[in-house]
Amino acid sequence: MLSILLALLCAPATFQAPLSQGAVAAPVVAKRAIDTNVDPRVELLTTVARLAGFREFTMGNSRSPYAERVERNFGPQREHPVVKRLVALRAESGVSYDAIPSMALHLGPLPELAELVPFEAAPERLDARWGGIRAREFLSELRDFARVTKAAEFFEGERAFHAQVARRLSERLSQSRALPWFDAFFGERAGAQYTATAGLLCGGGNFGVGVRFGDGTPERINPVFGCWTWDAEGLPVFDESYLPLFVHELCHTYTNPFVDRFERELAAAGQRIHASTAAAMQRQGYGTWKTMVYETFVRASVVRCRRATEGDAAAAQQAAEEVKQHFKWVPALEQLLGEYEAAREKYADFGAFVPRIVELLEHEAAKLPDPALAPKLVGIEPANGANDVDPSLTQLVVRFDRAMRDQSWSLVGSKEQLPEIIGPISYDAARKVLTVPVRLEPGRTYTFSLNSERFQGFTSADGIPLAPVPVQFSTAKR
């Protein structure tokens, strides 16, 4: 789901028509490496999410003439029951982000939208947030939405445009030879069907999704890529950044099943690590320990891929990028993956190596401070959220539940957002109360934070930082 700074040194690959139902593809060129398409099922589901106001599908960079055509056709049904149900599903079960294209790929073509894998069997790759069989109420309303909006006819009218988009994506991804590396590292997925889908309403969102059947039908590996740059003709521009995205999202289809299989073993370490980095993870959309561990497996594998295809310097650069994104344990995991690579005869498959990954993550988790021991904000004066603060107030007072490190604090914000500090900042004798001399102006709103992901001066005497606390208050007008 995130852009990774990676450029593979690749030889051309080849493409043929897609195997996904209801999709439009680039024309046949030669033997298949990976197909490309725009999939009406993905477009339909992301349209509903867009109407529901999902921020990940209403990014400003998703605006285009195509999005305007979608709005004209589907916008009048913004109050349809399926839109309201999707809003509720997000609030109740967290249905969002990759859950949307995951559902799309588990349906047959328009207009029937049949279940490709019976929902009562809990399809292995259908995002669990849908609740399996409970998703049938949503699906029933989705079929009605498709009927009243004449969705099949709309997307048929967009067929030529979709074909142009598929060709463009094909031209870019033909520069990648990621599949041979994945097959060599994780093992070949015999019979698997690979399709890269352009998500025309996904903006900067990218999703590693697919479908696994339980009856022997070949697996469908189907990463969905957002479109965030548009040319004068209203077509998406697929620049070089799509090569690393291709590796990243494709990797999800290989490694996510191993996280699922070893969920119980990974839980303790994953929960501890996520709790210690919760703010940074949530900012990036990784709201649970499991989504963070999905990313951990992927990011370490991407570094390993870069080492294999570009050398040690490129791998070091990538590892540094992962640390910058708060995945500080990824370099150690990537090094561990080198053991797997060097001793393939010892491990039947990647799954046999996962217990070693569990051990490493448990070791990394043990090095982190216990979040339960982190300092907590007891109170702040003026009160956080107050909108009638007396502008003659001369000090900001911050109270903590335990002793803090002396002469250490971080009031984070721009000069325009922070109160003017007019004297020395100091703690009381117990170092639980910080006093900041300030000068306030009438009719002003002050916005800042106590600590941030980068600045963590507010730290307990035991060395554990305060989780960032946003603060805002407004002074009364005179």
Average pLDDT rounded to a whole number, residues 304-312? 84
Q: What is the DSSP string of 383-406?
A: PTT-S-B-TT--EEEEEESS-B-T
Give 57's DSSP letter: G
Position 11 scores a pLDDT of: 27
Q: What is the pLDDT of residues 123-132, one digit of tens each?
A: 889 999 999 8
The answer, yes or no, to whether residue 230 has pLDDT greater than 90, is yes
How much is the mean pLDDT over the chain?
88
**Nearest CA-CA partner of 295 in 260, 339, 248, 341:** 248
pLDDT band at 438 (very low <50, low <70, confident <90, very high): very high
Higher-confidence residue of 5 and 38: namely 38
Position 106 scores a pLDDT of: 97
Q: What is the pLDDT of residues 235-267, one digit of tens each?
A: 999 998 888 788 888 888 889 889 999 999 999
Cβ count within 10 A of residue 114: 12
pLDDT band at 415 (very low <50, low <70, confident <90, very high): confident
The answer, yes or no, to whether residue 20 has pLDDT greater than 60, is no
Q: What is the DSSP string of 93-157?
A: H---TTHHHHHHHTB-STTT--BSS-GGG--TTS-GGG-GGGGHHHHHHHHHHHHHTTHHHHHHH
The answer, yes or no, to whether residue 444 has pLDDT greater than 60, is yes
The answer, yes or no, to whether residue 217 has pLDDT greater than 50, is yes
Please give the share of the chain, as a percent, with pLDDT higher than 90: 67
Compute the C-alpha angle 465/5/467, nearest 5°. 10
Are the C-beta atoms of 86 and 138 separated by less than 8 Å? yes
Average pLDDT rounded to a whole number, residues 460-470? 88
Q: Which residues pair with 107 in a beta bridge?
A: 115
Q: What is the pLDDT of residues 362-407, one digit of tens each?
A: 999 988 877 777 899 999 999 999 999 999 999 999 999 999 999 9
Position 17 scores a pLDDT of: 27
Position 368 scores a pLDDT of: 81
Domain 373-474 CATH class label: mainly beta
Distance in angstroms (rounded) separating the CA atoms of residues 167 and 37: 8
Report phi then psi at 191, rounded to 5: 80, -5
Report how far apart, in Å, the C-alpha atoms of 156 and of each of 163, 290, 408, 436 are.
11, 38, 63, 64
The answer, yes or no, to whether residue 27 has pLDDT greater than 50, is no
Position 33 scores a pLDDT of: 58
Report how far apart, in Å, the C-alpha atoms of 100 and of each of 90, 96, 103, 390, 455 are.
11, 6, 5, 48, 35
Report how far apart, in Å, the C-alpha atoms of 333 and of each of 244, 281, 339, 360 are.
19, 18, 10, 7
The answer, yes or no, to whether residue 29 has pLDDT greater than 70, is no
Position 245 scores a pLDDT of: 83
pLDDT band at 7 (very low <50, low <70, confident <90, very high): very low
Higher-confidence residue of 164 and 193: namely 164
- Of 7-11, 114-118, 286-290, 321-325, the poorest mean pLDDT is in 7-11
Compute the C-alpha angle 321/324/326, nearest 5°. 120
The answer, yes or no, to whether residue 80 has pLDDT greater than 60, is yes
Close Cβ partners of 133 (under 8 Å, ≥ 6 residues apart): 119, 120, 122
Regarding beta strands 433-439 and 420-421, do their DSSP bridges make them parallel or antiparallel, or are they unpaired?
A: antiparallel
- Of 82-86, 200-204, 269-273, 282-286, the poorest mean pLDDT is in 282-286
Higher-confidence residue of 25 and 313: namely 313
Q: Could you state, in order of their start, the residue ranges of all structural domains in the chain?
A: 24-247, 262-368, 373-474
Position 6 scores a pLDDT of: 26
